[in-house]
Amino acid sequence: MEAILKSYVETNQKVFQKAVKKYFENVDIPENLKKSMLYSLEAGGKKLRPILLFASIEAYSANIEKAMSSAVALEMIHTYSLIHDDLPAMDDDDYRRGLLTNHKVYGEATAILAGDALLTYSFEIIANDPLLSEKEK
């Protein structure tokens, strides 16, 4: 059972990471801000929130692609909270998941903007999700 669960998590982590990159391919924002956002989004972690969402969707016999927008938005909100939590005015952490924190790599101002942008972009993703909006009705 443990091997099945491990395989499920690893497979879905890879699927999720590919999806995250797609959401940033055509985003029209300064390159440094985009790099800062992706730095924290891709900085390891188990990605349990999206994977639990995928498992919930699959429990209802649906394809996880239907939940991908929500999963990406969910992880963006979580990552925003981590970036802001690490800031000097908060916990003032130097490392997260074995890597330098966002503000140590990109500076405090960019880290604040990256966190804010992840939160705001997550709302845009959810608002444009045809599964959750009036577009599909």
Domain count, the chain: 1
pLDDT in tens, 1-18: 899 999 999 999 999 999
47 phi-psi bin (left φ>0, alpha ψ -120 to 50, beta other): left
- Domain extent for 95: 2-24+31-131
Does the pLDDT value for residue 27 go beyond 80?
yes
CB atoms within 10 A of CB 25: 7
59 in a structural domain: yes
9 in a structural domain: yes
137 in a structural domain: no
CATH number, domain of 58, equals 1.10.600.10
Quote the CA–CA distance of 70 and 65 in Å, as a whole number.
10
pLDDT in tens, 83-128: 999 999 999 999 998 999 999 999 999 999 999 999 999 999 999 8
How sure is the predictor about 66, in pLDDT bands with cuts at 50, 70 and 90? confident
Name the pTM for this structure. Answer: 0.89
